[in-house]
Each structure stands twice: as structure tokens, then as C-alpha cells.
Chains A and B, each alone.
Chain A
């Protein structure tokens, strides 16, 4: 049994998925399915989370399964957040028509989560590629799950096309690496990439292109707004948080471990990419009227901020990127959860559908305030400390201009996030009395939101322990 410990979360996820498939035919059509499927998945994920936390904590990092996976804190920490994000997303699914009736939706969610868990711990290029595909394929389907909605189909198809293309590029890069280095093990590649030549740069570019797509770095960000807008909102939330964090887990491992010698020279390229990603994301977000598109562009910008920690190329840099992702997962899930609720009730994701929200549901509005201010980087919410740490890491490594670009960018961010708050609190519904249009939140979604709000506040105030985990993951990476 001990051999299964490193993949305990994956095993449990798989068991949960099979259980859902087996139970599904016995469920009657109709109302009962909704609470059952969602709660069952969420509780199952919660059990997975707690069992893994209790039983499967890594000790010293070690390569397992013939060097395919690495059992370390970086992988473990990310896995726990993926499982958490999946649990929250499962609760959000319950409020989305179609998704909440179909066991397949939950199964696909679990399959994608398994893929992400493997992505975070892969130590071999073959394993890594398989994990990425295991993540992506279910997500393509989920994005296009609402077959009677043209936008959802378009979203799924677009995601598939872009995804397949960049996967091919990534795979090509991997094959070249194998051809030149003669090994696929991430931890042995470092020796082979010992000098900085054109070939190495070319190969790394191919790999970077594939990964940049996953985390929506400029110039591979074009898919994000269209896909997020069309996909069911909880799926978009999952895509923008867990899937993006999984991409960053891979970036951290590859760029810190496999291509370390390249890094000093690479840092400048990555710094420019981070700058462009932040700036493009934030500038385009300024003009958005659709909240899902706005969050898509903002999530592009956030990938840029998280990238700053990678550029810093230091222990603090890695830890701050990991911490950034923790704060970002919690915050953005919260934001998408709120968008989901409002979209569900008003039938629109336009920013004007937030008019009068402050009067229709004061508590939900406070949650929205927490989410958007945390995205903007305001204390006492998670976003502030997260930004503080990445900027701090950048300055420690001498990237003062990058930190300056980052803080200036956060001003754009503040503008459009505050703008949404203006719709929520200031503007009124047209010719209608808000008291007549309360905006109810169903209990499971309310539960998820409460957990996320508490999470965002905890990460923002009691940040010591969280940063401790992130730092531990960073220490363990090599």
C-alpha cells in the first residue's frame, strides 16, 4: 500500500469518479439528481482532501514510479488546492442547469483534477505530457458542455483547436529535448542543458509556448476571453484557477530544475513576457463590459504577476509565486462563483446586470467586494500580501523595474475592479424596485462562497503559515 501513498489523492479521485459513474444509472431523472451529484462529489473531494492531508504528506522528496513522479511538497501543495478547487467547483455546478443533471460533468471535473495532480508532480517529460492531456481533454469537453448553447460549443471548440496546436508544439519541444539529451527525466536534464546555445533557446521556446498557453501568457492568451465567456461559468472559474496553477507548477519545475543554467539569460525574456502579459491583460480589461471577459483579461494579467516570482529565480521567488497562486485560486474562484450566481439569476454577464446588487443581496455584495478588492491587491485580503511577496522577490533579485511595472499595472487593475463595485453599490436597477427582486443564493453555493471568503481573509491576514507552506514547497523543489 505504501507505494500508493504518493498518488493517494489521484487514487481517491479515480475511485470517486468510478463511484459516481456506477451510481448514476440508479438515480431517478429530475430534481433529486442535483443535490445528490453535487453534494456527493463535494463530500467525496473533501474526504480525499482530508485523507491525503492526514496520510499522504511527503517527507523528504523522492522520485517514485520509476522516476515518473516526484513526491514532494510542491506537488502536494498544489494537489491539495486542486482538490479544493474541484470541490468548490462541484458545488458551483449545482446551480448551473444541465451540468447539475449530468454525472458526466462531475466525472470530467474529476478527470481533469487527476490530470492536474499529475501535472504538479510529474518528473518526467512523458508523464508530464500525458498529465497535460489528461487535464486538457476533459476541460475541452466541459467548456463545450452546454450543447444547446452556441457560445459554449464555440468555446469548447476554440479551446480544443488552440489547445491541440500548442500541445503539438510542446510535444515537438519534448521530442527535441529527448533527441539531444537522451533522457526524459526532468531532474537529469539540468546537466545536459549546461551551455546556453541557440539550440537550447529554440527548444525552450517550444516548451514555453506550450506552457504559456496553459497559463495564458502573452502572446498565447487569445483563447482565454472567448473560452471563458462561452464556457459555463463554474468551468471558466476552474479553468482560470486550478488549470492555470497546474501550468505554473510545471513552469516552476521545468524552468527551475531542468533549464537552470539558461535561467539568468532567460530571465530577461521571461521578464519581458511578464510585463507584456500584465500590461496587455490589464489594458484590455479596462474596456470590457462583460464581467466574464473582464475576469478573463484580469486572469491574464494575474498570470503576469505570478510570473514575476519565476523571473526572480530565487527561493523567495518560487515561494512567492506559489503563494500568489494560492491567494489567486481562492480569490478568483470566489469571483467566478459570484458571476455564476448573478448570471444564473439575471441571465446575463453584462456588467449592467450588477446594477442594484448591493440592495438586492447585501451579503453577496460584500463577498463580491472581498473578491474584487483582493484581485486588486488590497489588504486585508489575500491579493495584497501575494503581490507584496512577488514584488519583494523581484526587488531582492534586482528586478526593480519589473516590480515598478507590476505596481503600476496594479493601478489599472484597481480601476476596473472598483468600477464593478460601482455598479454593485451605486447604480440602481432600471425602473425597478430592488426590494421586489431579491437575489437568492442556494445553500451549497452559499457554503462555497463563505469558505472562500474566509480563505481569502485568512490568506490575507494570517499569511505566515501559508507562506511557510509555499516556502517549504520551494525549498523542496531541487
Chain B
């Protein structure tokens, strides 16, 4: 029997939480070191899984299945395919960099890392679950720590409002999907929550048309789909840095991924029927998100709304139901995750030093914080889809897919690229270049070693995938193949 990689990855954070909670709250250093080592271990294992995944064989690999409750067909069933394996890797990366960047948290670090790791466990669990029940189980586990993390360590002005709003939105979404999933379970007659079995069940077209929308949209709320995107910028802004990274970097992918896995893959007929609507909503996301981002004056809100815009591209890629679109969406999930994590890390570093995120009040940060500046510039290039960076690898195929489906949509969506370019470049110019306001002179200490490592790691990934798409695209391609088969080889 092979080593149970996935369950170990999923349960490392959970076990770490328990370990952390048994430590004394005063041993802050020991707590941080424990957290970092656990995160590194999880990352190491996810890197191993990523590279050991056999792209040629494709399909679900690293499968582990333990009967959990045979009476209702619930099993602890893990496995990854080409679409989820990059996301597992992404979670590992964000986890490590998130811990590094949260090194300075001084208020109850024990609880902070404990809650963060429960969150991480839930995220890993969703990406690796092949059982519908377990998917919900981990999904909810990923939702509630968010509330505590934002409300306790978040930005004092909006944290109570934003945390509650976010949690309720996500919970509403998940319970709506849950009803859909239960209906699917009883209608299928297969008496199992095993998604590999449910994939093969042919639900009647009418059934699929009725239930696709609640299931898909319920999850897509977490993916930030219009008009349910409202929680996301507020949540990102209110959250502490590491949580914003997790949140925009990984959690939103959770929504998109689950919408794909449960919505599109289990109800392909419904997906085909509703694809135009999803495409329309995603188009609003892309264009509207970009425009709103361009008028924000708060650095963090800019990033928050840009996430809405970029996640729209992921949804758009799904809605094309074409190989190009799906591959692009798969890569975009990873690329956007890394990019957003980097952005939020950078915003956090600037804010910790300048104590403001108001763009007009900032300036000249490149001098004291050169690496942060470079990071944001690279992030901006990714964000506008510049060739040579991961954003291009992701967005180009998406636009190809859209063009093949409906050229007009592609043209409208392309506006967002221009808008994105304008606002990210404006932010870069205002925050990092120009004259530094006098009150900051000599008051901006350089960033620490761990911060540097985290930034470099994130930058390297974006450039690496941009220059060598072969590091990611074949994986995603093998996963997309399976989705297309379910969609009927379209």
C-alpha cells in the first residue's frame, strides 16, 4: 500500500492545531516555529504529490478510500486530478508564506495559527475530496475559522461588519448547494456520496436544468460571482494580511473549484443549458470588477476588486465549456492565487509601516522597500496578462475559448485588460514611485528575512510558470480532458 499522502496533507494542519492548543500561550516563539514547520511539511508533501502525479495516465490519482459510514454511502475518499493537484500545491504555498508573513502577530498567536490551520485543513480537504459529503464537511470547516480570524485580528474599522457579512454569504451559498447535493444523492439512486460514481449517473435533463443553478451558484458565491461578490472586497480588506492571502488566494478558488466539481462535472447537461447565464454574470464580474477597482483609493480595496474581476475570468473559462477556456481557468486559479497572495502580502507590509493604505497619501516606497516594489510590479504584470508571466498563460487560452464561443463577449471582456493595466500601473506609480511624503522619511523600516523569502517564492512561481508553461499546463490539461468527457466530448 502506498503512503497516504493526501490524508496526511489534509490532517497535518488539523493535528498541528491540536498541538498548538496544548502549548502555553506565552511560548510565542515555539508556537510560530511549530506552525512554520508544519506548514513546510505540508508544502513539501504537496510538492511531492504535484510532481509525482502522472500526467500521462491522468484521471484521479493518490486515491485513498476508507468507509466512513457505509449506511449512507459516505466514505473518506481522497484523490486528485490534474485540476486539483495545482490547487493543493497552491494551498501549501500560501500556507507557508502566510505563516512567514504573520510572524509578527503578537496578540494571541496561538489562537491565530490554530484557526488558520483549521482553515488550511478544510481547504486541503475540499481540493482532495472525492466524496460529496466530505467535500461539504471540509468546505464548512474552511468557512467558520474565517469569521474568528477576521473578527479578532482584522482591521478595526470594518472587521465586525465584514466578518459577519462574509461568513453569512458563504454559509448561505454552501447550504443552498447542500440541498442540491442531497437531492442529487437521493435522485441518483446510487446510494453513495462517491463523486466518481455520481459522475457516471445520468440525471434526467430536466433535473439537471433545475438543480444546476442552485448548486453552481451556491458554490460560486465563494468564487465571488456577480451579484454575490459583495462580501469579498469587504472581507479581504478587513482581514489580517495572512488571512487575506488565504482568502483571496485559496478560498475563492475553493468556491470556483467546487462549482466546477459538483456543478459542472456532476450536472453537465445543466451546465450546458445555463452556460450563457454564467457567462453573462462572469462578464459583469470581469468588467465591472475592473472598473470599480480603478476608482478605489484604498490600496487593499483595489486588490480586493481586482480579485473579483480575475475570478470572473475563471468563471468565464468554465462557462465556455471548451478545452481552451477550461485549461485557462485551471491555470488562472493557480496564477491568481499566487498573484493575490503576493499583492496582499505587499499591501500588508506597506500598511504595517506606513499605517495607511490610502493611495494618494503614499509614495516613494520603492526606496525603503525595494523587494516589495518589485513584487508588486511583477504582480501587476501578471494581473494584466503580460506574456512571460503566469497571467498570460492563464488568460490567453480563456480569451481563445470565449472567442470560439461568442466573439462579442471576448471583445467586451478584453476591455478589462486595458482597465486593469491602467489601475495597477497607477497604483504602482503612486505608491512606489514619486516623492515620498515627509512624514514617512526615515520611518519605513526594511522588511524581515522571512518576508523576503515569502515574496521571492511567490514571484519566482509567477515568472517560472510564465516562462515555462510546461510546469503547469500539462497537469491542468489532463484534468480538463476528464471534464470534457463528462460534458460529452464537446
Contacts and interface: CB of A to CB of B under 8 A. Distances in A.
Interface of A: 358-359, 362, 366, 369, 373, 376, 378-380, 384, 388-389, 391-392, 395-396, 400, 403-404, 407-408, 410-411, 414-415, 418-419, 421-422, 425-426, 463-464, 467-468, 471
Interface stretch (B141-149, B229-237, B306-314, B462-470): B141-149
A464 B134 CA distance: 13
A393 to B, nearest CB: 10
Contact of B147 (A388, A410, A418): A418
Given A366-B21, A411-B175, A418 B183 contact: no
B178 A407 contact: yes
Contacts of A391: 178-179, 182
Given A418-B167, A467-B69, A379 B137 contact: yes
Contact of B168 (A359, A379, A415, A422): A415
B144 A373 contact: yes
22 contacts: A362-B110, A366-B21, A378-B143, A391-B178, A391-B182, A392-B72, A392-B182, A395-B182, A407-B175, A410-B175, A414-B171, A415-B168, A418-B147, A418-B167, A419-B164, A422-B151, A425-B148, A426-B160, A464-B68, A464-B69, A464-B74, A471-B71
Given A464-B71, A468-B71, A404 B151 contact: no
Contact of A404 (B72, B159, B160, B179): B179
Chain B, interface size: which category?
A: 35 or more
Interface of B: 21, 25, 68-72, 74, 108, 110-111, 133, 136-138, 140-141, 143-144, 147-148, 151-152, 159-160, 164, 167-168, 171-172, 175-176, 178-179, 182-183, 185-186
Contacts of B186: 392, 395-396
Nearest to B138: A379
A391 B177 CA distance: 13
Nearest to A421: B148
A388 B133 contact: yes
Chain A CB count within 10 A is highest, among B68, B72, B136, for B72
Given A379-B137, A400-B183, A404-B179, A411 B160 contact: no
A379 B185 CA distance: 20
B68 A358 contact: no
Nearest to A366: B21
A420 to B, nearest CB: 12
A388 B177 CA distance: 12
A459 to B, nearest CB: 12
A463 B70 CA distance: 11
A467 B175 contact: no
Nearest to A410: B175
A8 to B, nearest CB: 29
Given A408-B172, A426-B151, 16 more contacts: A362-B110, A366-B21, A369-B148, A373-B144, A378-B140, A388-B136, A391-B179, A392-B72, A392-B182, A392-B185, A404-B179, A407-B179, A410-B171, A414-B168, A421-B151, A426-B159
B141 A379 contact: yes
A410 B182 CA distance: 16
Nearest to A376: B144
B152 A426 contact: yes
B71 A379 contact: no
Contacts of B182: 391-392, 395, 403
Nearest to A394: B182
A467 B71 contact: yes
B164 A418 contact: yes
Contacts of A410: 171, 175
A379 B140 contact: yes
Contacts of B168: 411, 414-415
A376 B168 CA distance: 12
Contacts of A422: 151, 160
B69 A463 contact: yes
A464 B159 CA distance: 38
Contacts of A395: 179, 182-183, 185-186
Contact of B176 (A388, A407, A425): A407
Q: Closest 4 interchain pairs by CB?
A: A407-B175, A464-B69, A395-B182, A379-B137
A379 B144 CA distance: 9
A408 B140 CA distance: 15
B25 to A, nearest CB: 6
B392 to A, nearest CB: 39
Contacts of B167: 414, 418
Nearest to B160: A422
A467 B152 CA distance: 36
B454 to A, nearest CB: 27
A26 B233 CA distance: 68
Contact of A425 (B143, B152, B171, B172): B152
Nearest to B139: A379
A380 B176 CA distance: 19
A415 B164 CA distance: 7
B6 to A, nearest CB: 17
Nearest to A400: B183
A374 B138 CA distance: 15
Contacts of A407: 175-176, 178-179
Nearest to B159: A426
B184 to A, nearest CB: 10
A396 B183 CA distance: 8
A33 B25 CA distance: 36
Contact of B111 (A362, A392, A408, A411): A362
Nearest to A363: B21
Given A411-B172, A464-B71, A380 B21 contact: no
Given A395-B186, A403-B182, A411-B172, A384 B137 contact: yes
A418 to B, nearest CB: 6
Nearest to A396: B186
A379 B178 CA distance: 14
Contacts of B179: 391, 395, 400, 403-404, 407
Contacts of B110: 362
Nearest to A404: B179
A466 B280 CA distance: 46
Nearest to A463: B69
B489 to A, nearest CB: 32
A388 B181 CA distance: 11
Contacts of B151: 421-422, 425-426
Nearest to B110: A362
A376 B140 CA distance: 11
Contacts of A388: 133, 136, 178
Contacts of A358: 108, 111, 152
B108 A408 contact: no
A380 to B, nearest CB: 6
A415 B161 CA distance: 12
A358 B176 CA distance: 32
Nearest to B70: A464
A421 B175 CA distance: 21
B215 to A, nearest CB: 13
Contacts of B68: 464
A195 B483 CA distance: 54
Given A362-B111, A379-B141, A392-B182, A411 B171 contact: yes
Contact of B141 (A366, A369, A380, A400): A380
B208 to A, nearest CB: 16
B235 to A, nearest CB: 14
Nearest to B184: A395
A411 B179 CA distance: 14
Contacts of B164: 415, 418-419
Nearest to A320: B72
A425 B154 CA distance: 12
Contact of B144 (A378, A464, A471): A378
Nearest to B140: A379
Contacts of A419: 164
Counting chain B CB atoms within 10 Å of each CB, the highest count among A362, A379, A467 belongs to A379
Contacts of A418: 147, 164, 167
A383 to B, nearest CB: 10
Contacts of A408: 172, 175
